[in-house]
A and B are shown apart, each in its own frame.
Chain A
Amino acid sequence: MKLRLKRRLFGTYGVLFLVFVYAPIVMIVAFSFNSNPINMMVWSGFTFDWYWTIFGYPTQLNEQTLYVESTDQLLAAVMNSLIVAASTTTISTVLGTMTALALFRYRFRAQRFYQGLLYMPMVMPDIVLGIALLVFFVSIGMSLGLYSIIIGHCTFLISYVFVVVSARLAGMDNALEEASADLGASEWVTFRRVTLPHIAPGVVGGALLAFIISMDDLVITYFIAGVDSTTLPLFIYGMLRRGVKPQINAIATLMLLFTFIIASLGLYLRRRG
């Protein structure tokens, strides 16, 4: 009796929790298929039109409801985001992994201190990091653009990769690398044949995490983007300032889908590793 009540209470709590987390997301996906151009809270039928408009295809919607004036601008923003995310992921994965290896494999002075420094960018407020980077770039006379965004993203994404790879290294028996050396392998061969296969799931996980974070970073990018380097989040933010229009829902849904694909890929690779 009492137990059943308890179970029911926990069940209800669980459902409420899921609603709390997922309701907004479910709503935005649903609205992206709503054909009502005036009030998106009122369902008036299913349509793919909002998706067609963002890619510049002709639809039956009248001109006033259209909102993305230039599909080229949108595609340019997507392109910028992909360039930034791909470059940042590559750089921060290589550097973050090397940093993790250095901190786990060697002993040196002030090791703890360096480790602390590596965690810092993750807890630092984005806005502070954004302002600091802006001031820095301006003071060294660097023009803002894709390069400044890539450098800015790397400063904190290296930390994310470092943390994920470190977790993997912490679970690794030191004797594995010693066994490899003992059997005659050079350091490079040991790294390639023993260490890398062991940390690979961490490296891939860190890379995907870096990619996703870089793709949707708004605050830091806002400060250090130049005129011609609008990324997708900046573009969406710009659209929102002129009112919430249904196309936003479609763009958000596509981003969500993209993120899901990346995350599933990560899970799949992790399970195989």
Chain B
Amino acid sequence: MPDTGLPGSGSPVAEVLDAVKRFSAPEGGTVTALDEVSLEVSAGEFVTLLGPSGCGKTTLLRCISGFEDLDAGEVRIDGTPMTGVPAQHRPVNTVFQTYALFPHLRVEANVAYGLEVTGVPRRERTVRVAQALEQVGLQGLERRKPDQLSGGQRQRVALARAIINRPKLLLLDEPLSALDRNLRHSMQLELKTLQHELGICFLFVTHDQEEALTMSDRIVVLNHGRIEQIGSPEQLYHEPATSFVAEFIGDGALFTGTIEGDPDPALVTDDGLRLAIRDGVPAGRRMTMLLRPEQLDGAPAAPDSAFGILEATLEQSVFYGATRQLVCRLGNGAAITVTPSPGADGDRLYRAQLGDALRLAYRRAEPHLIEEARDGG
């Protein structure tokens, strides 16, 4: 029996070490799809690879599953190097974006495929297929062909087929992108529950940051084949390491400028906007400040040095049920989103008319500051 340690204990189930993958571009030259990527997935973890299309997340998945070979670096599963091991012998399984169900086979035959080709006896196959179909909630559809199923059902068949071989690691390549919004939402929760029940590590690829935040234990943000940041959803949301992560995850406005200490600590943007920041940041640094919509509110009536103030004009007000979102224009022309909280200061914003001048405020200790790289890259 393999070691099934608790999260964080023992050796990682899967490791990627300094993975490099280059493709030759059609117009000549090479494109680096993976640039020294390293990460590990521990037992029982749900890890998401998040990034815009073309960031290398699918390539990384294909290198782990064995459909692509790395140019440098290594993939290890349960400590065993996978270099030179073909896909069919790797203890990982994949849920494909297109599901890739075998169109000529019934649901039960699709699910049983992995057992059949690896020589599991018929009796055991029947039991395990029934069990897998029950786990994904597909009892009663055994005799259907894939083209007689709905998108959500196909998704479940693909899932059942992929878990039947009891992989060490399940790779999921944007499996929810073809589903409509409501179904996607319930599938997200179901996947998470299923992962918990099975105790298999999930490595999930998506470009949808909301999906990543909802499902993951840890998120790996990729951009141009490099890892921008690895962290828990909370870390990525509250303390993004780079402005790319800040921009990609959640809503918010970014202000890049130089830190000044006098008279009050502030970040001064290149076009002259002055934003109050927390104490203790050395002056002269170039930094980027992230203001989340929920950090902004109506300014208190009495002056208070704990707050930073922004003058803005209300441009749009959108009702979302539980919250209302205001889009405001700042003096330097930048747009900023605000979700006021109920209360005296927030109510004032709710009542504002389009075109009204507003005073917005944030606690200056709250906004996260990101160090800008000196070379500007």
- A residues near B (Cβ < 8 Å) are 173, 175-176, 178-186, 189, 193-194, 197-198
Contacts and interface: CB of A to CB of B under 8 A. Distances in A.
B100 interface: yes
A185 B87 CA distance: 9
A178 B98 CA distance: 12
Chain A to chain B: the 7 pairs with minimum beta-carbon distance, closest first: A183-B114, A175-B100, A185-B117, A179-B100, A184-B118, A181-B87, A175-B96
Contacts of B88: 181-186
Nearest to A172: B103
A198 B102 CA distance: 9
Nearest to A273: B104
Contacts, number: 65
Contact of B87 (A173, A176, A178): A178
A185 B92 CA distance: 13
A212 B282 CA distance: 86
B86 interface: yes
Contact of B94 (A176, A182, A185): A182
A181 B104 CA distance: 17
Contacts of B165: 183-184
Given A183-B161, A184-B165, A178 B117 contact: no
B204 interface: no
Interface string B106-120: 000000011001100
B113 to A, nearest CB: 5
Contact of B67 (A173, A178, A189): A178
Looking at A184, A189, A193, the one whose CB has the most chain B CB atoms below 10 A away is A184
Contact of A198 (B66, B92, B104): B104
A194 B93 CA distance: 17
B216 interface: no
B93 A183 contact: yes
Nearest to A185: B117
B170 to A, nearest CB: 11
A179 B160 CA distance: 13
Contacts of B48: none
B42 interface: no
A132 B226 CA distance: 58
A194 B162 CA distance: 16
A178 B113 contact: no
Contacts of B113: 180, 183, 185, 193
